[in-house]
């Protein structure tokens, strides 16, 4: 009888252990997330086997997800969280925790819960219950950065948990061992350029729309160091209207600018500037005027035909050879003949024949000669 009782007890214990093992095995193999969108080449390593993933596949505990350069993957867990991993990213999936080993991870929380979830890197951890943020880890520099898009998140050091900061909406911080011994930097408002750069890393991913959320204003006008809304001051060109929601909606009044008028006004402005500068910096012609008030110590030597050399500064006369002057008729122009060409036979004969030609007949020419030889004194008496 005792043997039967012992065997019955052993059988019940075995059944209980088998049930616990089956439930543990079933619980251990339960999926933790599901792939919702894939762009480019995305791979998953599970139980030492790496394969390419596609939308709809399950992700289990300790599975790792990789993305190539330019790729992107989105996955959802069973706590209404959506995660987007950019290119060159690497994450490991755990229960209520995502381990970011490299790249940029965008986390979006659908519902506000009391449970705390974590995104962990090598040197820091982000704790959140709701909201939206982007966390990154650089494997080369060991730097973790956190940008809060919606909500307040706790950013702390992994080794020293007392080193922590609360990062509110529109601010960012980072943790690196070289800065303040790993303490998170004091939250700083993010600028428009940095915000646009981070958002551009994710294709077709936009911030979620929450009630009374300033995400829309962050997209258009990211917070800066001196926010006019916090100090009560407003920009003249901006109106704030949203009384029902209790928040503020920023609207920019765009002025219509006539480009033709603007171009013509700019052209006239620069034309006047150029004219003024041209008059101001006009180059004046330089005229050289020799100045004989000061004596130069340059020695001047004049050489004549004699053997003696007489300096011109002593005022001695220089001998010059006499030049014979030739008389010329007044009607003759003093020109220097260039080339003297000898007359050929044809030209000589032409000139002789030309001289033989007479203007009058022989009778008239003889009469002319007689008149030339006739001597008259044109007197009435001897």
Confidence of residue 338 (pLDDT cuts 50, 70, 90): low
pLDDT at 217 over 80: no
Tell me which residue of 260, 259, 242 sits closest to 251, measured CA to CA.
242
Distances (CA, A) of 250 to 139, 218, 229, 345: 39, 10, 10, 113
Which residues partner with 100 through β-bridges? 91
Angle at alpha carbon of residue 67, lines to 64 and 71, rounded to 5°:
150
Better pLDDT: 225 or 102: 102
As a whole number, mean pLDDT of residues 202-208 equals 88
In this predicted model, which residue has the larger pLDDT, 139 or 301?
139
Q: Report how far apart, in Å, the C-alpha atoms of 121 and of each of 31, 85, 145 are.
A: 22, 14, 10
Q: At residue 113, does pLDDT exceed 90?
A: no
Burial class (CB in 10 A: 0-12, 13-18, 19+), 91: buried
Nearest 5°: phi and psi at 96?
A: 60, 20
Q: Exposed, middle or buried by CB within 10 Å (0-12, 13-18, 19+), for 87?
A: buried
pLDDT category of residue 181 using cuts at 50, 70 and 90 = confident
Of 230, 269, 264, the closest CA to residue 248 belongs to: 230
Residue 225 has pLDDT above 50, yes or no: no
Burial of 136 (0-12, 13-18, 19+ CB in 10 A): buried
Question: Does domain 33-224 match CATH 2.60.120.1440?
Answer: yes
Q: Minimum mean pLDDT among 1-15, 165-179, 298-312, 337-351: which range? A: 1-15
pLDDT tens digits for 69-105?
999 999 999 888 999 999 999 999 988 899 999 999 9
Listing DSSP states for 335-376 in one string gives: ----------HHHHHHHHHHHH--SS-HHHHHHHHHHHH---
- pLDDT score recorded for residue 351: 77
Summarize pLDDT for 232-272 with one digit per residue, the tens.
444 444 444 444 444 555 655 656 656 777 778 778 877 78
- Specify the pTM: 0.51
Residue 368 main-chain phi, psi, to 5 deg: -65, -40
Q: What confidence category does residue 8 fall into, taking pLDDT thresholds of 50, 70 and 90?
A: very low
pLDDT tens-place string over residues 153-170 = 999 999 888 899 999 999
Mean pLDDT score of the chain: 76
Percentage of residues in the chain with pLDDT exceeding 90?
Answer: 32
**Average pLDDT estimate for 15-34:** 62
Q: What is the pLDDT of residue 109?
A: 87
State residue 229's pLDDT score.
40
Tokens found for residue 181 = 């011994």
The domain ranges of the chain are 33-224
From residue 252, give the alpha-carbon distance in Å to each of 220, 238, 299, 307, 353: 10, 5, 84, 101, 111
Please determine, for residue 292, whether its predicted confidence score (pLDDT) is greater than 60.
yes
pLDDT tens digit sequence for 353-377: 777 777 777 788 888 887 777 666 6
Q: Is 21 strand, coil or helix? A: helix
């Amino acid at each position: 009888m005792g043997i039967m009782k012992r065997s019955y007890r052993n059988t019940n214990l075995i059944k209980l252990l088998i049930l616990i093992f089956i439930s543990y095995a079933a619980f251990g193999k339960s999926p933790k997330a599901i792939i919702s969108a894939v762009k480019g080449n995305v791979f998953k390593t599970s139980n030492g086997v790496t394969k390419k993933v596609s939308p709809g596949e399950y992700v289990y505990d300790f599975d790792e997800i990789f993305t190539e350069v330019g790729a992107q993957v989105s996955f959802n867990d069973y706590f209404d969280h959506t995660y987007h991993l950019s290119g060159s990213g690497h994450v490991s999936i755990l229960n209520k925790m995502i381990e970011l080993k490299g790249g940029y991870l965008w986390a979006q929380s659908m519902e506000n819960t009391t449970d705390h979830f974590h995104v962990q890197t090598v040197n820091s951890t982000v704790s959140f219950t709701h909201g939206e943020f982007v966390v990154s880890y650089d494997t080369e520099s060991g730097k973790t950065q956190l940008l809060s898009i919606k909500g307040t998140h706790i950013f702390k050091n992994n080794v020293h948990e007392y080193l922590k900061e609360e990062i509110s909406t529109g601010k960012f911080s980072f943790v690196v061992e070289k800065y303040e011994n790993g303490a998170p930097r004091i939250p700083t408002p993010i600028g428009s350029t940095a915000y646009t750069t981070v958002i551009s890393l994710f294709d077709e991913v936009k911030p979620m729309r929450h009630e009374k959320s300033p995400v829309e204003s962050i997209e258009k006008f990211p917070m800066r160091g001196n926010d006019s809304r916090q100090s009560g001051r407003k920009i003249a060109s901006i109106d704030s209207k949203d009384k029902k929601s209790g928040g503020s909606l920023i609207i920019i009044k765009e002025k219509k600018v006539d480009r033709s008028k603007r171009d013509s006004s700019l052209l006239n402005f620069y034309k006047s500037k150029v004219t003024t500068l041209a008059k101001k910096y006009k180059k004046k012609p330089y005229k050289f005027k020799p100045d004989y008030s000061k004596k130069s110590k340059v020695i001047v030597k004049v050489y004549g035909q004699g053997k003696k050399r007489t300096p011109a500064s002593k005022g001695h006369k220089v001998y010059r050879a006499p030049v014979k002057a030739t008389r010329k008729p007044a009607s003759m122009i003093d020109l220097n003949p260039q080339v003297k060409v000898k007359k050929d036979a044809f030209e000589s004969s032409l000139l002789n024949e030309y001289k033989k030609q007479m203007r009058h007949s022989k009778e008239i020419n003889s009469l002319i000669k007689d008149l030339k030889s006739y001597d008259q004194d044109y007197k009435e008496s001897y």
